[in-house]
Amino acid sequence: MAESQIPFEVVSENASAVFEDSPGWARDSKLNLLQRQLCVSRRNLFQQVAARSSDAVILMSGKQTQGVGYPILYVNSAFEKMTGYCDAEVIGRTTHILEGPESDPQVLRRVNRLVQTFQPLREELVYYRKDGRQFTVDVSIVPIANENGECTHFLGLLRETTEQCRLRDRFQLAELGAGLGSYDVDLPSGRITWSPRLLQLFGLPPDGPQPNLGDLVSMCHREDRERVAAEMALATAGFPVDSRFRIVRADGDLRWVQISSRTVMDAHGSPALAFGVALDLTDRVRTEEQLRLSEERLRLAQEAAGIGTFDFDLLTGKRVWSKRALEICGLSEAGDLPADRRILRVVDRYFRAAVGRQIRFRSDGRPFALEYKIGRRDGNDRWISMIGRVLTNESGRPTRHLGCIVDITERMEVQAQLARNKEQLRALTGELQQAFEAERTRLAAELHDRLGQTLIGIKMNLDWILRKQKSDSSVWESAARESIQLADQAMALVQNLSMELRPQLLDAQGLRAALEWDAKQIHERLGIACVIEIPEGKLGLTPEQEIGVFRIFQEAMRNVVRHSQARAIRLHYERNADGGEFILHDDGMGISQETFAHSPCLGILGMRERALRMRASFDLISQIGQGTTVKVRIPAARPGRATGTE
């Protein structure tokens, strides 16, 4: 009898009866004593191996019992330890005793189908212990046949894989959470096993045939295919591989994949198993590309605008300056700026305290924006505009300080030149106004003194002629009286012109009298009610300030007459600790701020310029339908400092 055909009939691990019922043993008259002793020796050897095995060993009959399964004939001690059942509790029963609610019916049907057809099988099953606890086993069942080829027994090995399944489930969860796919390659056979996530990544159906390494290489982008094939060859040779490449899925979608592979050697040092994980990098690669393009656009914009940037890590102290920022500060490398103290040393002393305060604001998360002057090593001092922003973590603690700097030296020089030009223009305007006032005073005096006296002399002569003429008195009298009237009108005109050029009341009686005279003229000509509420006497104004205030409100009342259609004007004075304020208000139709902003009146500009010459502020407030208010605030004179014009 061949060795593989020797049947075994084992009732229990400690049974003394051996093979009595075996048709291939007890009833075979041709077996001699030597063969019987050999079989007993082999039976004892099997029992010893099964008893010492860490895996559960189970022997089942090859014949079904009433169609419900194959009865158990033998179990080893490892089975008892694994399941909690002793041999007396399972002998004669089927493996259904181990099944429970979580046992997969499909797997059980597949096992039964293979057993009924006497085929070897290997499956992972969920069984239950005697105490009801669930566990997972890797089951291998092999049919045993006699010399006639009939299946007489089934030998099963059960290895508990509960912990391995838990680890596998955790790994699958990790794969799902991280978007990873995994694979392993049996290198001798070349068989590759892909996880469902990896199949999904490559766009392959989960229930299709498992692709091999050649299929993987063929799915690579044509530009990456040769490199990936070489890297896969290295992996199968036992070398670790980390590769990033592109694949083209069946639907034409291009994906970026990162694969990390490691190899396990067998006992002889030959590569036996390669395993690895794959990550879909497509979204990250696209994001990195967008970020790279954005950074490139930002870099070009910064270069075009001459902007330098800096980045301070407030937790580690690391400081990064762009090349342009170092150029602006006149530094050759980032090492020239190791700390904030170094930054302060390049700042001009006049601005150093303010910049230091702004730098310290980083500790409490405040942003900053300031302009200051720096002193460079080459002596070419520059003006800097710095804008910064502080990033904080979840607890509100500042972690990062970002900002940019711009060289605004040319702008500051232009502004300084404009300011100098403006001051020069204002000084020139002041000189022109003074010259104009002086010329007005001279013309007023000429009109009043010389032309007025001449007209008075003409009137006196005409009056004398009128008294002395006797003949044709009616003709002479009419002509003389008409000439006298003309002389009176000319004298009145000369007086008005003289007052408008330089009101003598301003020099003789003060600002209030001059404004009241001007208001009286408006009321007499146009019927507009004018109220002047200014205290008697001196208001602490210099002569230049008095003429400035008079001219401002003289122009303001002229604008009311020309544009506002007002019925009343009120001008009053308010004194406070900071000086005094003149306020004029009319009840006219007003003007919108937009209209004034887009088409400013030269008269208003002149009033504002006069106020600036007096170191005073000028405000014009107006709304449609609510009239117009003009305010002139004149500060109180400081000791030892004049408040008039320069």
Residue 302 tokens read as 């910064």
Q: How far apart are CA 507 and CA 547, in angstroms?
A: 9
d(CA 162, CA 485): 132
| Cα-to-chain-centroid distance, residue 628 | 47
Q: What is the pLDDT of residue 369?
A: 76
Per-residue pLDDT tens digits for 76-116: 888 989 999 998 898 888 888 888 888 888 888 888 887 78
- Asked whether the beta carbons of 370 and 388 are under 8 A apart, the reply is no
Instruction: Give helix then strand counts, H and E, for the chain.
Output: 20, 20
Residue numbers of the chain with a pLDDT score lower than 50:
1-31, 334, 338-342, 640-646
Q: What's this model's pTM, rounded to 2 decimal places? A: 0.43
- Domains of the chain as residue ranges with CATH: 3-160 (3.30.450.20), 165-286 (3.30.450.20), 306-407 (3.30.450.20), 509-646 (3.30.565.10)
Q: Which structure tokens are listed for 506?
A: 């301003």
CA dist 231 and 336 (Å) reads 45
Q: What is the pLDDT, as a whole number, of residue 262?
A: 86
Q: How far is 518 from 534, CA to CA, in rounded Å?
A: 14
Question: Which pLDDT does position 220 carry in this prediction?
Answer: 92
Residue type, 283: D
Spatial separation of the C-alpha atoms in residues 529 and 557, rounded to whole Å: 12
Q: Which two tokens stand for residue 26?
A: 């007890």
Q: For residues 159 and 154, give the distance between their C-alpha atoms in angstroms, rounded to a whole number.
A: 16
- Burial (CB < 10 A; 0-12, 13-18, 19+), residue 235, is buried
Structure letter (DSSP) for residue 450:
I
Beta bridge partners of 192: 185
Measured between alpha carbons, how far is 412 from 435 in angstroms, rounded to an integer? 34
């051996």: which residue's tokens?
Answer: 18
Dig out the tokens for 543 from the structure.
């002569």
pLDDT of residue 60: 86
Residue 212 structure tokens: 């091999």
Distances (CA, A) of 157 to 41, 69, 152, 184: 22, 17, 17, 25
